[in-house]
Chain A
Amino acid sequence: MEEVLRLLPEGVKRIIQNFSQNDKESMEEIRIRINRPLEIMMTGKPVFPLLNGSEYYVSKDDAAQMLNKLSQYSLYALEEELKKGFVTIQGGHRVGLAGKVITTNGHVKAIRDIASFNVRIARQKLGIATPLVSYLYAGGWMNTIILGPPQSGKTTMLRDLTRIMGEGDEMRRIQSSKIGIVDERSEIAGCVKGIPQHRLGHRVDVLDSCPKAEGMMMMIRSMSPDIIVVDEIGRREDSEAIIEAINAGIQLVVTIHGHVMEDLYRRPSIQELIRSGVFERIVELSRSDGPGTIKAIKDKTGREIRRKKVM
């Protein structure tokens, strides 16, 4: 939270500091939009905080200050980030940007006149993947797919699983593994200048904002990982790279968008992967009891080996 506060314009900072420690803990997003009231998302609900009895309207100056601090007064250093539309800051938090978009030949070149900032506060949920361990580990980690709709906590789950794999677990006599993360959207490790900001263990190497298929091949060739971790696969090249990695004797842990395992058979680029049975475990997530609810864990034939108890 300190890292976020340092970034905020003075006016907004003062308001946030007025919140109690508890409220600060529950903040998920701080939304700053020019000429519109400051909005804070707390446990899924929008809050428009008051200052002296009225909503705080964000001024142009506030936005300029925010951008200055975000870029360390050096906008030219943010070129790549302005193209992608977000900046990852220290602590793995992420600031989304919106405004006037400049294009060349129909491709986004940069965002100029930034009018909206969305500060998404990253909170690593340590231990969220612990219940999975006994199903995914049997003498070695199994190739695993984490499946779930958006906002079901796939990436959070993947991150914690990565941490457990990277740190090992003395109690269960699981040794730590060398892990290669191909982090195309900088979400798993939340890197700043290539250094992971989340706790992932000491044996993790990250290819930050690298295209997945190419990144997997690079990892195989140069970094000799035991396990490769990739977020949101789905394209044909990804599947090819996965087959390549598995043939090289590397274990894979990936996430895919989808609700249930049957969905995967309908996606041409992925169905072959599933049919060939290289993935031994499929973890289905849902958001029915909040993000990160484990709905089912299945083996490669689709047989459930654990079902969430119905209460």
Chain B
Amino acid sequence: MKLLGAVLIILASTWAGIEWSRTVSERSRQLRQLKAALQSLEAEIVYGITPLSMACGHICRQVGHPVSWFFDSFRKKLDAGHSTAYEAWIESMEEVWKYTAFKQEEKEIMKQLGATIGQQDREHEQKQLKLALIHLEREENEARNNQTKYERMFKSLGVLGGILLVILLI
């Protein structure tokens, strides 16, 4: 009976450790997705001169979840007729953000981008998108550093923590 309890505790803590480490690697994966999406958006705007809602429709077919959800929701809001693109952008962010592994920094970057999206000429749209991409690049580097640093640590911490708890309880 004791042994079964010990195994259960160790299994649970190992699982918690793996989940924990996943949030770290998930963030850098989603950051890569978001960057790819914004790069597509840049191409759609600068070379395709595609209106936003159509461009977002193309993008959500190109990138994976959950980033595609954001562009899908943004597109739907534009098609339904919102007062400004910024409002639709912010509302879509509020809706989708909780399903992502993004942190406050990414939120700020996207908010800033949303403030001018669709309201300027091509040149300026491109500048804003480039700027956002540079910021995201920095976040991605940081996320990747964290990933290498913490991913393994969280996993071992889970297992070891479980063992510690078992030893203490026994």
Contact = CB atoms under 8 A, between A and B. Distances in A.
Chains A and B bind each other: yes
Interface of A: 61, 64-65, 68-69, 71-77, 79, 110
A76 B122 contact: yes
Interface of B: 45, 49-55, 78, 81-85, 88, 118-122, 125
A77 B49 contact: yes
Binding site secondary structure of chain A: helix
Given A73-B51, A76-B49, A68 B85 contact: yes
A102 to B, nearest CB: 10
A71 B53 CA distance: 11
A77 B53 CA distance: 12
B53 A110 contact: no
Contact of B52 (A65, A69, A74, A79): A74
Contact of A73 (B49, B53, B121, B122): B53
Given A64-B84, A68-B85, A76 B53 contact: no
Contacts of A76: 45, 49, 118, 120-122, 125
Most A CB atoms within 10 A — which of B49, B85, B121, B122? Answer: B121
Given A71-B118, A74-B85, A75-B121, 11 more contacts: A64-B83, A64-B84, A65-B83, A68-B84, A72-B78, A73-B52, A73-B84, A74-B51, A76-B49, A79-B49, A110-B121
Given A74-B118, A76-B118, A79-B122, A69 B81 contact: yes
A72 B52 contact: yes
A114 B20 CA distance: 52
A65 B120 CA distance: 15
Most B CB atoms within 10 A — which of A61, A69, A75, A110? Answer: A75
A77 B51 contact: yes
Contacts of A79: 49, 121-122
9 contacts: A64-B84, A69-B81, A71-B51, A72-B78, A74-B50, A74-B55, A76-B49, A76-B125, A110-B121
